[in-house]
Amino acid sequence: MENIDWKNLGFGYIKTPKRYVSNYKDGSWDTGCLTEDGTVALCESAGVLQYAQTIFEGLKAYRTVDGRLVTFRPDLNAARMVESARRLVMPPFPEQQFVDAILQTVRANADYVPPYGTGASFYLRPFMFGTDAVLGVAPATEFQFRVFGTPAGPYFRGGAKPISIRVTDYDRAAPHGTGHIKAGLNYAMSLYAIEEAHKLGFTENLYLDSATRTYVEETGGANFIFITKDGKLVTPKSDTILPSVCRRSLMHVAAYILGMEVEERHITLDEVRDMAECGLCGTAAVLSPVGRIHDHGKDILLPSGMEKMGPVCQELYDTLTGIQYGRIEGPEGWIREVEL
Ligand code: PLP
Ligand code: COI
């Protein structure tokens, strides 16, 4: 096991020994292999460099209470990456090979998967980009798929402390655009808004739907869930947000394990004033409580406050992380064990 201060890890890149690489050329992906080389050398006119033809995924591996190494629903990331690839005219990476690449990367870096009980986990970043030269606007014809992993702590500093976010006037996704896929370009165009939010003292941006500026969409890197005063989980329905694996999992946990009512529907910003709890969910964010939403000079203060997560979010969090860390048996197929 590496000598790392696991309990104080933030969310940043730490180079680990091995990563997985596969190349696409002449119409097919090669079998792929592990390499120690963490650098990528590219043609100056590569599709990724000129026209941002790149997509990515994010998922985690965990060391369980009984010492196993597991990943959480990697098949859903594999399937979502196929959707992202189609939308950016890239060759889909075979789903079985994707899951295999994940398992190989975790196994090869097992010493970097944080010990159980530290609150940290091993964040995996699969990504794919156009490698051959383009000059006119056109898709590349050669691509590289890679997966690296890095030990990671909480995405939002402070971990389970509620955060303050603001409603932004910038948009992250247009109707019929790319908001529903995990394209690098969606994040590039959010950088200005996130820098501005940070300068003003907010941790994240709440994006409204860009067509009507009425409905809550998501933040730059996580979906929303809300808990109503009568204990329902409600979450935005939209074609322009990323279909979060974490959110789909929390909806299942809420409905089938905790016996809650769950609704996926349009949620107006006005309605948020009446919610009991608000959380941001995603692989990196896990379930991070929101205490305050700033909207153009006015504050929406969630009754759960700024000190700790609300009780329903806490129950959802405990159940989901209980499944991920092997304390609770999850639904069939959610946990993929890494054979050592
Ligand atoms: N929304 C956006 C924009 C994201 O970048 C992410 C992170 O992947 C999520 C939501 C959460 O998705 P998931 O739970 O699949 O990580
Ligand atoms: C993830 O949660 O995996 C993401 O990709 C979000 C990103 C903002 C770190």
| Whether the Cβ atoms of residue 213 and residue 259 lie closer than 8 Å to each other | no
* Confidence class for position 2, pLDDT limits 50, 70, 90: confident
Read off the pTM. 0.98
Distance 118 CA to ligand 1 centre (A): 23
**Of the ligands numbered here, which is closest to the C-alpha atom of 13?**
2
Pocket test for ligand 1, best of 207, 283, 286 (most atoms within 8 A of CB): 283
How many Å lie between the centroid of ligand 1 and the Cα of residue 37?
Answer: 27
So what's the pLDDT on residue 48? 98
Give the pLDDT score at 323: 98
Protein residue with its CA nearest to atom 8 in ligand 2? 221
Pocket of ligand 2 (CB under 6 A): 58, 221, 282-284
Which residue in 22, 12, 17 sits closest to 128, CA to CA? Answer: 22
Taking only the tens place, the pLDDT of each residue in 164-211 is: 999 999 999 999 999 999 999 999 999 999 999 999 999 999 999 999
Secondary structure class of 87 (helix, strand, coil): helix
Q: Which ligand is nearest to the CA of 182?
A: 1
**How far apart are the CA of 133 and the centre of ligand 1, in A?**
30
Q: Strands (DSSP E) along the chain, which ranges?
A: 19-25, 28-29, 33-35, 54-56, 59-63, 69-72, 121-130, 143-152, 163-167, 204-206, 223-227, 233-236, 262-265, 277-282, 286-295, 298-301, 335-337
- In eight-state DSSP terms, residue 266 is -
- Determine the Cα–Cα distance for residues 117 and 138; give it in Å rounded to an integer: 48
Report the distance separating Cα 247 and Cα 77, nearest Å. Answer: 13
Nearest Cα neighbor of 69 from 5, 191, 151, 172 is: 151
Q: How far is the CA of 1 from the centre of ligand 2 (A)?
A: 26
Residue numbers annotated as active site: 182
**Residue 27: predicted pLDDT:** 97
Q: How far is the CA of 221 from the centre of ligand 2 (A)?
A: 5
Indicate the pLDDT class of residue 114, thresholds 50, 70 and 90: very high
* pLDDT at residue number 236: 98
Q: Is the pLDDT of residue 9 over 80?
A: yes
Q: Is 70 in the pocket of ligand 1 (CB under 6 A)?
A: no
How would residue 159 be classed by pLDDT, with cut points 50, 70 and 90?
A: confident
Mean pLDDT on 234-263? 98
Residue nearest to atom 3 of ligand 1 (CA): 221
> Which pLDDT score is estimated for 6?
96
Q: Is the pLDDT of residue 317 over 80?
A: yes
Average pLDDT, the chain: 97
Q: What's the pLDDT band for 268 if we cut at 50, 70, 90?
A: very high
Whole-number Å distance, alpha carbon 282 to ligand 1 midpoint, is 5
**Is there an atom of ligand 1 within 6 Å of 124 CB?**
no
Report whether residue 222 contacts ligand 1, using a CB cutoff of 6 Å: yes
If you take atom 12 of ligand 1, which residue's CA is the nearest one? 244
Question: At residue 251, does pLDDT exceed 80?
Answer: yes
pLDDT band at 334 (very low <50, low <70, confident <90, very high): very high
Instruction: Give yes or no for residue 249 CB within 6 A of ligand 1.
Output: no
Q: What per-residue confidence (pLDDT) applies to 160?
A: 81
Instruction: Give yes or no for residue 223 CB within 6 A of ligand 1.
Output: yes
In this predicted structure, what is the pLDDT of residue 147?
99
Q: What pLDDT sits at residue 340?
A: 87
For ligand 1, say whether the CB of 221 is within 6 Å of any of its atoms. yes
pLDDT per position as a tens digit, 207-239: 999 999 999 999 999 999 999 999 999 999 999
Looking at the CA of residue 218, tell me the nearest atom of ligand 1: 1
Closest CA to 165 of 121, 217, 123: 217
- For 126-132, what is the mean pLDDT? 98
The answer on pLDDT for 158 being more than 80 is no
CB 227 within 8 A of CB 239: no
Q: Is 246 in the pocket of ligand 1 (CB under 6 A)?
A: yes
